[in-house]
Structure 1
């Protein structure tokens, strides 16, 4: 009997682990624009469900109908131009936040005998909705955009992104969620700015029912955030303003006494900020951020030219490729017009159903893991998957002259809200290299399958190079030196997507098959 109970416990634990793994890999709604399309379809179902509920509630009909009109207008606006809508980080963040939070409020609002059927439907659909983890990821993504591109909270809130005005702004619920989650993460400086933005919004606008957010609640939270920053005098001012509206509120009076006691005793309530110096919003940009912002100096190397490549393979004699030499140390070139529109459309259609959260291999654990430094969704395809993959690999051979035997599969990726890949190398470390039958990654070929309105560049901070996504182009660089040693100049990163949907396809080429085309040379 004891063994049976132990077996049941083990099965339950296994199910829980599998559910958690699924929620990490399959949820991750904000890590791919293509993946978020389903959210709009799901939201449309929820709106229709709400419409059914409204028909049964005549005494609350006006409130519900007004909400339906507002929700449907936004959803139809999104569905009429889905990619453009989801490409804007403010739309993406607001979609995820309202799907995670607003519909829970609607569920509570509808939990009345009259609306039992409609409430049950929302409950059924909640498994497909974003989780709290998704909202936290969306907050982190929007925060990453702000930090990387040096944007102001008030500009983001008004839809003014990196010098361009968009017809979108965040609501008090959006900015308050940003402040709450950043506060929970210990980022009190940035949290305070989003909470202040919430108060600014509430001075001019009013939230519709049932989304009632009280000013005193926001002010109290703002005061608490200021205390974490040891701004006691400012915190007291905020509480006093709140007391003008509610002079007898017990919680506000207690908070006032608490702050006054801290001021009298000189006690600090300041909490340590994250130790990472990059968390300071007033610092100078890093080399990586400079690249993302287009601040690298222009190259003056006269050897960097554009020409037709007709010599790498015999086929190029008949169909040369347009090649732009970007750098010589390491060797890096851009090929223009190497993908047709038809090929790009087929690649996207092929990849979309198979997209999964991208992972990074952890040598210490011997397995791949989801990490915060890489946010995108990916699909892998063998070289012989279909005629298109065969053509792509033949083209890569023409571009590089390399033998693709033993190289890795084609990897198609789509980046979502603030999607990025932090600084990394494509080559392996010495331990991993020695255990690989096909050798290290001698070269990388990266195809850009879409233009990106803002952001999404590939930057090489050690050599001050920035390559911007351009539909149909491909960038290729060597990861290893002539003697086969890793080239640390190839450190690179994918900047966060600011506005747009970034699609790429890459191929990592292994070294062992290149002993004839590029032998290891001794210095």
Structure 2
């Protein structure tokens, strides 16, 4: 009993640790996925303890039964049963066993099964209090894998074998996992990609057949049936029919019979190409680290040290990497050290991370797959955030009074933010005094693969560099929006991408960045309809 109580105390302590992390959307943040890893570790520990307790109880039952068995065997060897029971002590022991021992040692523990009840309570607490992942979480992770394939041209077979972006990892997928991905993609309506994963599952299963031939045949039939449905949806009804007939030849009573009748009464899907956005080609190219060829301007951009921006940088000049001129986009390296970044994470951990949303009409914000990450907001009251506010003021020359709180974001499985502007232009939130005049984005982590920041209209990509700051203006000096600043956060292939965004508003910058006498918005007109 003491052991069981200790088990429940450990479980309760774990609940207190994670009580603030209740909620879904685990797949949209690697940090939240770490919470899931802790949950699974607790499940592993609790299950192991439960099995050990059950094993101990089972061994007790076995010892007791063996003891009674030996008593009976001895009685039959020494004398007849009536002579054995004629002895008063033997008779007493038999009655005592039936009145007390069997109940106390076997029946009551089996019926009560306290370890089982405590384990049930633990599972109930995990699934309700900790925001246990559901079917939508699985679909979100699968969509992330498909997104990586679409953007980085990753083949299904290479991905299943653990080869990602030219690197080979230890993690490989079994046929069951490939089959599950195919099924989920089918349910999501991505029939072409579903077929690729179903084919991979079929290949792996055929290469490593199940020991049970009947089970193996059933699994092969299940894959063929889903592949038939997917083929029908992409406009290949004949192939769908052939696949179903191959199932029915050896198994005439298989459910494929009903599937075949169902498809006979439906119109097959149309073999249409997927719709793509005008920016799609540039987006995927830049995310892969490839630029379009450009004519040389004759003035190559060079890194330099800037000690004149502000007196604060006189002794330790800014390390400036200009990556684009007109509009000016600069990367400032070494702006935050690891200790400062850790302090930012500690501040963020005190708050609840929520799924990132996108702006809609009339200031409404909605969750969409074009932005897959989680975020929280930090004010400038803590020491580390106070130092960051000074950095932004000194580097940008703008007034921090016109700044939103720092948005700390973390990207999850295939996490991304499709091409978007940071300015609002219309439907400006009521609490904004002016539009977002500038963006200051800190990279708070390196990323092993992927996760570039790309500017689709400027033929520019930037790999994340921990501690660096990227800064640009979203508005012209005339305060017209600069459409050339359309940018995106590419999907993270491997690793965790963490950033901190600070947006300054134009309403406080009249004397910091005054308007010119003539409008300069003409500079971006040629880009408005370009890709």
TM-score, length-scaled by structure 1: 0.76
Q: Would the aligned equivalents of 1:229 and 1:269 in 2 still touch at CA under 8 Å?
A: no
Q: 1:16-71, CA deviations, whole angstroms, 9 ceiling, x for partnerless residues?
A: xxxxxx9999310011111111111111222233334545777xx9xxxxxxxxxx
Instruction: Confirm or deny that 1:423 pairs with 2:428.
Output: no
Query: How far apart are the structure 1 equivalents of 2:465 and 2:325?
Result: 21
Q: Which residues in structure 2 correspond to 1:358-377 (within 5 Å)? A: 358-360=355-357, 362-377=359-374
Query: How far apart are the structure 1 equivalents of 2:383 and 2:362?
Result: 37
Instruction: Confirm or deny that 1:395 pairs with 2:400.
Output: no
Query: How far apart are the structure 1 equivalents of 2:161 and 2:279?
Result: 25
Residue aligning to 2:123? 122
Deviates more, 1:501-510 or 1:348-357: 348-357
Residue aligning to 1:224? 229
Q: Which residues in structure 2 correspond to 1:289-328 (within 5 Å)? A: 289-297=284-292, 300-301=296-297, 302-328=299-325
Query: How far apart are the structure 2 equivalents of 1:186 and 1:391?
Result: 48
Residue aligning to 1:181? 184
Residue aligning to 1:379? 376
Instruction: Confirm or deny that 1:251 pairs with 2:255.
Output: yes
Deviates more, 1:342-351 or 1:147-156: 342-351
Instruction: Confirm or deny that 1:409 pairs with 2:393.
Output: no
Query: How far apart are the structure 1 equivalents of 2:261 and 2:199?
Result: 22
Deviates more, 1:289-298 or 1:449-458: 289-298
1:40 is matched with which residue: 37, 42, 65? Answer: 37
Deviates more, 1:342-351 or 1:188-197: 342-351
Q: Would the aligned equivalents of 1:186 and 1:273 in 2 still touch at CA under 8 Å?
A: no
Q: 1:419-470, CA deviations, whole angstroms, 9 ceiling, x for partnerless residues?
A: 111111111124428x565211111011111111111001100011101101
Q: Would the aligned equivalents of 1:484 and 1:521 in 2 still touch at CA under 8 Å?
A: no
Q: Would the aligned equivalents of 2:248 and 2:254 in 1 still touch at CA under 8 Å?
A: no
Q: Would the aligned equivalents of 1:455 and 1:497 in 2 still touch at CA under 8 Å?
A: yes
Query: How far apart are the structure 1 equivalents of 2:515 and 2:318?
Result: 27
Instruction: Confirm or deny that 1:287 pairs with 2:291.
Output: no
Instruction: Confirm or deny that 1:465 pairs with 2:465.
Output: no
Instruction: Confirm or deny that 1:516 pairs with 2:508.
Output: no
Q: Would the aligned equivalents of 1:336 and 1:474 in 2 still touch at CA under 8 Å?
A: yes
Q: Would the aligned equivalents of 2:233 and 2:268 in 1 still touch at CA under 8 Å?
A: yes
Displacement of 1:392 in angstroms is 0.8
Query: How far apart are the structure 1 equivalents of 2:364 and 2:261?
Result: 54
Question: Aligned in 2, Cα 1:477/1:501: closer, same or farther, shift over 3 Å?
Answer: same
Deviates more, 1:435-444 or 1:495-504: 435-444
Query: How far apart are the structure 1 equivalents of 2:350 and 2:179?
Result: 34
Displacement of 1:321 in angstroms is 0.4
Instruction: Confirm or deny that 1:150 pairs with 2:158.
Output: no
* Higher RCO (CA-CA < 8 Å; seq separation 6+): 1
Aligned with 1:308: secondary structure?
strand
Aligned with 1:26: secondary structure?
coil
Q: Would the aligned equivalents of 1:357 and 1:378 in 2 still touch at CA under 8 Å?
A: yes
Q: Would the aligned equivalents of 2:441 and 2:501 in 1 still touch at CA under 8 Å?
A: yes
Q: Would the aligned equivalents of 2:407 and 2:501 in 1 still touch at CA under 8 Å?
A: yes
1:200 is matched with which residue: 184, 200, 203? Answer: 203
Displacement of 1:363 in angstroms is 4.5
Q: Which residues in structure 2 correspond to 1:448-487 (within 5 Å)? A: 448-487=443-482
Query: How far apart are the structure 1 equivalents of 2:363 and 2:436?
Result: 19
Query: How far apart are the structure 1 equivalents of 2:444 and 2:345?
Result: 8
Question: Aligned in 2, Cα 1:39/1:470: closer, same or farther, shift over 3 Å?
Answer: same
Residue aligning to 1:506? 501
Query: How far apart are the structure 2 equivalents of 1:412 and 1:510?
Result: 18
Aligned with 1:27: secondary structure?
coil
1:350 is matched with which residue: 331, 347, 362? Answer: 347
Displacement of 1:310 in angstroms is 1.6
Query: How far apart are the structure 2 equivalents of 1:130 and 1:498?
Result: 22
Residue aligning to 1:9? none
Query: How far apart are the structure 1 equivalents of 2:368 and 2:262?
Result: 40
Question: Aligned in 2, Cα 1:337/1:250: closer, same or farther, shift over 3 Å?
Answer: closer
Residue aligning to 2:170? 167
CA-atom RMSD in angstroms: 3.2
Displacement of 1:354 in angstroms is 2.2
Aligned with 2:402: secondary structure?
coil
Question: Aligned in 2, Cα 1:463/1:35: closer, same or farther, shift over 3 Å?
Answer: same
Aligned with 1:179: secondary structure?
helix
Q: 1:341-365, CA deviations, whole angstroms, 9 ceiling, x for partnerless residues?
A: 1111222232234242243354425
Q: 1:304-345, CA deviations, whole angstroms, 9 ceiling, x for partnerless residues?
A: 221111222222223210101111221110101111111112
Query: How far apart are the structure 2 equivalents of 1:445 and 1:488?
Result: 17
Displacement of 1:131 in angstroms is 1.2
Question: Aligned in 2, Cα 1:473/1:437: closer, same or farther, shift over 3 Å?
Answer: closer
Aligned with 1:432: secondary structure?
coil
Q: Would the aligned equivalents of 2:434 and 2:506 in 1 still touch at CA under 8 Å?
A: yes
Question: Aligned in 2, Cα 1:502/1:241: closer, same or farther, shift over 3 Å?
Answer: same
Question: Aligned in 2, Cα 1:461/1:207: closer, same or farther, shift over 3 Å?
Answer: farther
Q: Would the aligned equivalents of 2:443 and 2:467 in 1 still touch at CA under 8 Å?
A: yes
